[in-house]
């Protein structure tokens, strides 16, 4: 894993921060929460949980009907951008963007938010007004952002959300 990413001119081995230790691959008929990788950050890399100017996350936000209409913020390398959740537990299908191996992918249990997904936001964390983590951006279009709820992702990996800084060891 590089930070910044190779797409942002990160270079191996200078920008290596860790390694992918587990992958829940995107495959036909898989739930949205299976589109992420677990990265073990190297001990030599300090971890700051501060989310730009918002401070550290304070936990997770359960998905329920109260989330509809709520403002959330996508936190990516591009900065902060606001969205509004307009549906929860949404199921839909789309073609993969890979032109070599087009495949129909079925998403289940997704959150949908108004406003375009910007390039580079896939994998970005999404937080609510209280800085609770809502989910991760997994797809989008010029009008919609698709978010995987964070709690099932954490459960799938058997991990918890880091809410305090970790110094380099």
Considering the domain boundaries, does residue 152 fall inside one?
Answer: yes
Under 8 Å between Cβ of 41 and 21: no
Considering the domain boundaries, does residue 105 fall inside one?
Answer: yes
pLDDT at 35: 58
Considering the domain boundaries, does residue 87 fall inside one?
Answer: yes
Characterise 89 by phi-psi region: left (phi > 0), alpha (psi -120 to 50), beta (else).
left
Considering the domain boundaries, does residue 20 fall inside one?
Answer: no
CATH code, domain with 129: 2.40.10.10
Q: How far apart are CA 159 and CA 48, in angstroms?
A: 17
Highest mean pLDDT among 26-35, 127-136, 151-160: 127-136
Residue 48: which pLDDT band, with cuts at 50, 70 and 90? Answer: confident
The total of other beta-carbon atoms located within 10 Å of residue 8's CB is 12
Considering the domain boundaries, does residue 11 fall inside one?
Answer: no
Considering the domain boundaries, does residue 64 fall inside one?
Answer: yes
Domain that holds residue 122: 50-157
For the cut 70, the answer to whether the pLDDT of residue 33 exceeds it is no
For the cut 60, the answer to whether the pLDDT of residue 15 exceeds it is yes
Mean of pLDDT values over 156-167: 87
Q: How far apart are CA 30 and CA 13, in angstroms?
A: 33
**pTM for this model (two decimals):** 0.82
Question: Could you tell me how many residues make up the chain?
Answer: 169
The total of other beta-carbon atoms located within 10 Å of residue 115's CB is 16
Residue 25: which pLDDT band, with cuts at 50, 70 and 90? Answer: low
For the cut 50, the answer to whether the pLDDT of residue 28 exceeds it is no
pLDDT, one tens digit per residue, over 98-146 is: 556 666 777 778 899 998 788 778 888 999 999 999 999 888 888 889 8
Considering the domain boundaries, does residue 16 fall inside one?
Answer: no
Q: How far apart are CA 108 and CA 89, in angstroms?
A: 7
Task: Tell me how far apart the 2 most distant CA atoms of the chain are, in Å.
Answer: 45
How many domains does the chain contain in total?
Answer: 1
Mean pLDDT of the chain: 83
Under 8 Å between Cβ of 21 and 145: no
Considering the domain boundaries, does residue 17 fall inside one?
Answer: no
Q: Higher-confidence residue: 74 or 100? A: 74
Task: Using a pLDDT cut of 90, give the percent of the chain over it.
Answer: 26
For the cut 50, the answer to whether the pLDDT of residue 17 exceeds it is yes
């Amino acid at each position: 894993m590089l930070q910044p990413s190779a797409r942002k001119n990160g270079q191996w081995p200078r920008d290596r921060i860790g390694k992918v230790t587990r992958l829940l691959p995107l495959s036909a008929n898989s739930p949205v929460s299976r589109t992420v990788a677990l990265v073990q950050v190297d001990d030599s890399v300090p971890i700051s949980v501060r989310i730009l100017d918002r401070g550290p996350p304070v936990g997770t936000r359960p998905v329920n009907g109260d989330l509809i209409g709520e403002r959330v913020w996508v936190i990516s390398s591009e900065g902060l951008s606001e969205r509004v959740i307009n549906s929860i537990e949404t199921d839909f299908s789309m073609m993969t963007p890979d032109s070599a191996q087009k495949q129909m992918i079925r998403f289940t249990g997704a959150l949908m938010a108004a406003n375009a997904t910007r390039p580079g936001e896939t994998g970005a964390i999404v937080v609510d007004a209280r800085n609770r983590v809502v989910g991760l951006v997994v797809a989008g279009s010029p009008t919609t952002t698709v978010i995987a709820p964070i709690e099932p992702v954490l459960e799938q990996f058997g991990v918890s959300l880091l809410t305090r800084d970790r110094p380099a060891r």
